[in-house]
Amino acid sequence: MSHGPANKHLSYRTSHKMVLPVDQLKPGMYVAALDRPWEETPFLFQGFVLQDQQEIEEIGKYCCSVTIDIQSSVEFSVERHSTGSRSIHRKRVSKPDNARRNIARADDTFRHTHALVRNIMDDVRLGKAIDTPAAKEAVAECVNDVLERPDAMMLLTRIRQKDEYTSQHSLSVSVLSISLGRKIGLPREKLQEVGLSALLHDVGKVLTPDEVLNKPGRLNEEEMAVMRRHPSDGRDIILSSDGIVGGALDVAHAHHEKLNGSGYPRGLNASQMTHYTKMVAITDTFDAITSDRVYKNGRTNMFAFKILTNGRKKFWDNDLVFQFIDSVGIYPPGSIVVLSTGETAVVIESHPKMKLRPKVMVLNNLENPAAEMHLLDLAKVNQDQQGQRLYIVDAVHPNESGIDMRALIDLGILGNTDTR
């Protein structure tokens, strides 16, 4: 297997990242990127700390060089000698928890992309075309973050404001679709395509009257007919904008179609739906079910999973449903859980092999979360202080827990604002 030319010199990609040949790697370094796509290697973690020499040797079978994230690494620092060369020295470094740092970095991407989505929708309302270059750039950043810090990005999809549902929903569906694409092994170029398609899937709703879009209660037949125009409106908006991939046109027009032909607006069947459309149909449904709306509260992930599994083969692609559930996980980051101790916690990171035992932030004082909190890795701790088995009892929706996820991040409880 060809790896391409080896890097003979070290070079910084950012102020805290550098490229190293494999023969200069040491345990404790954080591998942020490879010199080849992740999906072409057996490494399931898109970003990980090197544990031992055996892992370094395994990387050497597939790569000539990797990108090291100095801030995320443990037990080493980089120093410049008087000769101008750089060398690695092992030492213990004190720094914020890696999970918090990842959340802070991903939050920057989320805020930027959400602002862009709002601007796109405002422009469309004014009759302007979609800013395609800006949208593509934002999606590329989302792809990077999903590949490098998937748990942080998944957590941020759970943070919502009812009065900004459409823009936040569009962004979350984009991230969920990129995550699903990563799970099924799509290359980066395809991840960017499906991410852009998902980001714009509901752009037609900017032309739907607010009294229909936000009506509390069930829509009547006339109002439903108005609502069901948004896929066609989305198609027309994308057609009038330059440089958008054809997949986005199909997704906007067909994301409410069903495999058995019972969807709208054209009643397409499975053979007439593109792969991207089938993906976004699933992520769109999941996010709609689990999100708070002006007229209803969201449901739990497990409730949404049940809807999707019951409708597989009939409404949604069977294989993609199971791949999506696996990509999200039983307790995905952002889940509010109750522990066997009675404590409430927020899931921070999932564990790829122990899906029922994630890393959580325990909030002992819900009225003042910053007062009493601690990180707990359930994959490493299986007993409480009384020696009893420690486990997750239940998951609850944020609207039932009284926890404001956005406030936790803004206060630095879930995210560390110092990312220097």
pLDDT computed for residue 97 by the predictor: 55
Cross-strand pairs, 336 = 346, 396
d(CA 311, CA 282): 10
Show which of 328, 358, 384 is a domain's final residue. Answer: 328
pTM for the model: 0.72
Nearest partner of 212 among 226, 199, 194, 198, judged by Cα: 226
Asked if the structure places residue 79 within a domain, the reply is no
pLDDT computed for residue 75 by the predictor: 47
Task: List the chain pLDDT tens, one digit each, 420 residues.
Answer: 444 433 333 333 444 677 888 888 888 787 888 887 765 666 644 566 676 677 788 888 888 888 887 766 654 433 333 333 333 333 333 333 566 678 888 888 888 898 889 899 899 889 888 999 999 999 999 999 999 988 888 888 887 766 677 888 999 999 999 999 999 999 999 999 999 999 999 999 999 998 998 888 889 999 999 999 999 999 999 999 988 887 999 999 999 999 999 999 999 999 999 999 999 999 999 999 998 877 778 888 888 999 999 999 999 999 999 999 989 888 888 888 999 999 999 898 887 767 788 889 888 766 665 556 788 889 888 888 888 888 898 888 877 777 777 777 776 666 543 322
Q: Do 272 and 317 fall within a single domain?
A: yes
Q: Do 126 and 214 fall within a single domain?
A: yes
Q: Do 138 and 189 fall within a single domain?
A: yes
Q: Do 286 and 173 fall within a single domain?
A: yes
Show which of 328, 353, 368 is a domain's final residue. Answer: 328
Q: Do 346 and 306 fall within a single domain?
A: no
Asked if the structure places residue 22 within a domain, the reply is yes
Handedness of CA 197, 105, 21, 137 (dihedral sign): positive
Q: Do 197 and 233 fall within a single domain?
A: yes
Show which of 268, 298, 328 is a domain's final residue. Answer: 328
pLDDT computed for residue 86 by the predictor: 36
Asked if the structure places residue 24 within a domain, the reply is yes
DSSP 295: S
Asked if the structure places residue 266 within a domain, the reply is yes
- Asked if the bond preceding 265 is cis, omega within 30° of 0, the reply is yes
Nearest partner of 390 among 419, 360, 350, 416, judged by Cα: 360
pLDDT computed for residue 74 by the predictor: 55
Instruction: Provide the domain count of the chain.
Output: 3
Handedness of CA 130, 292, 153, 101 (dihedral sign): positive
Cross-strand pairs, 14 = 17
DSSP 267: -
Asked if the structure places residue 6 within a domain, the reply is no
Q: Do 106 and 149 fall within a single domain?
A: yes
d(CA 247, CA 195): 10
- Which residues have a Cβ under 8 Å from the Cβ of 57 and sit 6 or more positions away? none
* Coil vs helix vs strand at 115: helix
DSSP secondary structure string for all residues of 219-266: --HHHHHHHTTHHHHHHHHHHTSSS--HHHHHHHHHTT--TBS--SSS
309 within 8 A of 127, measured Cβ to Cβ: no
Q: Domain range for residue 252?
A: 98-328
Phi, psi (degrees; rounded to nearest 5) at 73: -80, 165
Q: Do 139 and 257 fall within a single domain?
A: yes
* Tokens of residue 308, six digits: 């999707």
Residue type, 306: K
Q: Do 354 and 306 fall within a single domain?
A: no
pLDDT computed for residue 43 by the predictor: 62
Scanning the structure block, which residue is given the tokens 């569906």?
A: 173
Cross-strand pairs, 316 = 312
pLDDT computed for residue 420 by the predictor: 25
Asked if the structure places residue 282 within a domain, the reply is yes
d(CA 198, CA 175): 8
Q: Do 318 and 383 fall within a single domain?
A: no
pLDDT computed for residue 398 by the predictor: 75
Asked if the structure places residue 391 within a domain, the reply is yes
d(CA 283, CA 269): 18
CATH number of the domain at 260, please.
1.10.3210.10
d(CA 223, CA 212): 6
324 within 8 A of 283, measured Cβ to Cβ: yes
Q: Do 260 and 137 fall within a single domain?
A: yes
Asked if the structure places residue 415 within a domain, the reply is no
d(CA 226, CA 246): 25
Q: Do 216 and 142 fall within a single domain?
A: yes
For the CA atoms of 41, 42, 46, 52, the dihedral, rounded to the nearest 10 degrees, stands at -110
DSSP 386: T
- Which residues have a Cβ under 8 Å from the Cβ of 127 and sit 6 or more positions away? none
